[in-house]
Amino acid sequence: MPERISAAEVASVARLARLTLTDAELETFTTQLGDILEHASQMAALDLSGVEPMGHPYGLVNVMRDDVVAAVVDRDEVLGSAPAAEAGMFRVPPVLGEQP
């Protein structure tokens, strides 16, 4: 199993997950995630050679249906509950750099 998770790794993971942590939170989460992962490392005691990974109770298969029009969720109802919408679309602030 890998070495205990560091504060720098927790900060990096938080960035990936789009979360901002205060210094105090970073310290607490680093300890807690380290403890949880250390507990999980007990799995290393098992002999897993030749064991297939299990992702799902049944093993997922494609489920197909006939290509016919069915009831769909109403667009206006979806947009009506969105934080901001305009002209039939979700409105967001600029995605890249400066305001146009």
Residue 87 in contact with other proteins, rule: CB under 8 A: no
CA 16/CA 10 separation, integer angstroms: 10
Short-list 11, 37, 39, 34, CA closest to 23: 11
The binder of other proteins chosen from 83, 87, 88, 100 (CB under 8 A): 83
Helix-helix angle 23-40:7-16, to 10 degrees: 100
Least distance to other proteins from the beta carbon of 73, Å? 5
Q: Which positions lie near other proteins, rule CB under 8 A?
A: 1-2, 5, 9-10, 13-14, 16-20, 29, 32-33, 35-37, 39-44, 46, 48, 51-58, 60, 63, 65, 73-74, 77-78, 80-84, 90, 92-97, 99
